[in-house]
Structure 1
């Protein structure tokens, strides 16, 4: 569902370019769908802490942790880049920097830059990799976790409200990084307590989503407040759903399990597919004949379908192959089971 929210956001955002519609379709109603990114950040912090809590303070497990993180993030990402980069190099599509080899190399390894990576949506992955690196230090020493998270969140708040640092400080201390820490807090809490009235907690989280959506559409909430509202709603939704599933009160249909497993693939390919649809539409006479609602539907349905196919055909087998190639000296990795799907 979070992945589809992001697809809806970009189906609203990308068509407003002058070479396409020149405005946002459907009265910009789905623009707040970018809150799916905030949910993903909180969820990522939750999953990593839940999956690797027993690895904290055990340096011998660092190799397995890094191997799984690299396979989960980089392998599908590199497959998409293997298609996208030749398109830029051979067709002249995109801006000139997308054909600069140093820029391409930094994008491939998710090195933070002042501009977006070659694959635009990968800006979120640079934050993800930063979080993985910091969590890796906590695997080396368990006592570092509360210290590092406390210091990190304090510096982020100082940077946001007292002293704004230029890049790379603005990246290291971005307010987005707070969301990972909130996710860690969710996992820590669920390991220690039972969430009371989990259904009510989930309903409250969804109510905050609706409220935040309305406030953003009416432009009644600042950028920083949006991050906190979306972060709070994500925390409530994750706590409520995890407790409902753990207690056996939530059964996830198989088609939603598949959608969840494919969510990263959908996220990686959707904007590229949307751009291709828009270019194909507006470089021909078809552009002026397609109603906004039909174009918007195509910009949602087709990328999701391509993302599902990408997951089945490329992402899933490539990750399995990469993990099978793990060097023998890496420690055997294990994790408790709470939620269905892949971490």
Structure 2
């Protein structure tokens, strides 16, 4: 195992899963944007329902996040300043790119579309769930994919607050806090944003943390068992959930896509895993966050331009839109990672942690 510049482990199989999760979400959203572009142009095209399964990439991300937090903190547990170290690394990793993309999208909408209200924008920058008027009151920020970051930042805050001298005690504390929150959400009519934050999805982080403990205990599974786990995960993911999105029942999502995320993660980390071109998979994992943040703004811009010029649209146009925006998102993610995310992250870490810089 090696480490990234931001202190995260670069287990090749985890990097591969990061990229797969980002790519699945990318394909899922490309189909949605393409479909509604067709609706605007008066074209009804068939929707491949299996692409809705790309939404499971989010659940896989949550499992990976829980796993990575424990693994990356393993050398730091019990040390002086561990809590500060963790928070600095998380903030530097998540905040700069997301803020830049959010403000860029808001500026675009102020000129070419309906801008989000000030409360929604400020709430997004603070990672506080808030209903967005331009999204029919749904609990999403201006970059709609950013709703997942509201869960991520909650998890990071709990992890830092529950940080103990060892991995096991930390995992137990965080897991208990998440479980109590979900229980409160199930039993009480909580107001927002508490109702949002107590969604059963947050337990997906706990599963990832538990797998990190199993991984560090030295547990390794034979290949047939891991293949069976991966097969079971696909069986849980692939049924057509298109009719359930975006209102996928919370517990059903946890028990299908959430469990699938744990199974895929376990199948890849609990045993040897050889990938061709490991350097490319590492790179794919490295750019996955940038791809995740930039893809919806890029698709919105392309969709707006297409609608403005009233370019012809049909099956071929849909294919061009989907492949073009997906490829563009990957390129944009690479550019942002190399020339914004990495240099800004290095500078901020040097400022916040001068001794380690």
- TM-score, structure 2 normalization: 0.80
| Partner of residue 135, structure 1 | 159
CA distance change for structure 1 residues 140 and 211 in 2, over 3 Å: closer, same or farther? Answer: closer
Q: Cα distance, 1:188 vs. partner?
A: 1.0
Show structure 1 runs of 5+ residues with no match.
Answer: 334-343
| Partner of residue 325, structure 2 | 299
Q: Cα distance, 1:144 vs. partner?
A: 5.7
Show structure 2 runs of 5+ residues with no match.
Answer: 1-19, 132-138
Contact 2:141 2:147 in 1 (8 A): yes
CA distance change for structure 1 residues 292 and 82 in 2, over 3 Å: closer, same or farther? Answer: closer
Task: Report the count of equivalent residues.
Answer: 324
CA distance in structure 1 between the partners assigned to 2:323 and 2:170 by the alignment:
48
| Partner of residue 338, structure 2 | 312
Confirm whether residue 103 of structure 1 aligns to residue 120 of structure 2: yes
| Partner of residue 341, structure 1 | none
| Partner of residue 174, structure 1 | 199
CA distance change for structure 1 residues 270 and 199 in 2, over 3 Å: closer, same or farther? Answer: farther
CA distance change for structure 1 residues 20 and 227 in 2, over 3 Å: closer, same or farther? Answer: farther
Contact 2:145 2:296 in 1 (8 A): yes
Contact 2:201 2:258 in 1 (8 A): no
Q: Which residue of 62, 87, 90 maps to 2:83? A: 62
CA distance in structure 1 between the partners assigned to 2:116 and 2:275 by the alignment:
50
Confirm whether residue 323 of structure 1 aligns to residue 357 of structure 2: no
| Partner of residue 40, structure 2 | 19
CA distance change for structure 1 residues 61 and 206 in 2, over 3 Å: closer, same or farther? Answer: same
| Partner of residue 74, structure 1 | 95
Contact 1:20 1:278 in 2 (8 A): no
Which shifted more, 265-274 or 315-324?
A: 315-324
Q: Cα distance, 1:81 vs. partner?
A: 2.7
Counterpart secondary structure, 2:123? helix
CA distance change for structure 1 residues 328 and 260 in 2, over 3 Å: closer, same or farther? Answer: closer
| Partner of residue 190, structure 2 | 165
| Partner of residue 214, structure 1 | 239
Deviating 4+ runs (over 6 angstroms): none
Contact 2:66 2:207 in 1 (8 A): yes
CA distance in structure 2 between the partners assigned to 1:42 and 1:226 by the alignment:
13
Q: Cα distance, 1:140 vs. partner?
A: 5.1
CA distance in structure 1 between the partners assigned to 2:273 and 2:112 by the alignment:
53
Which shifted more, 33-42 or 75-84?
A: 75-84
CA distance change for structure 1 residues 145 and 240 in 2, over 3 Å: closer, same or farther? Answer: closer
| Partner of residue 11, structure 2 | none
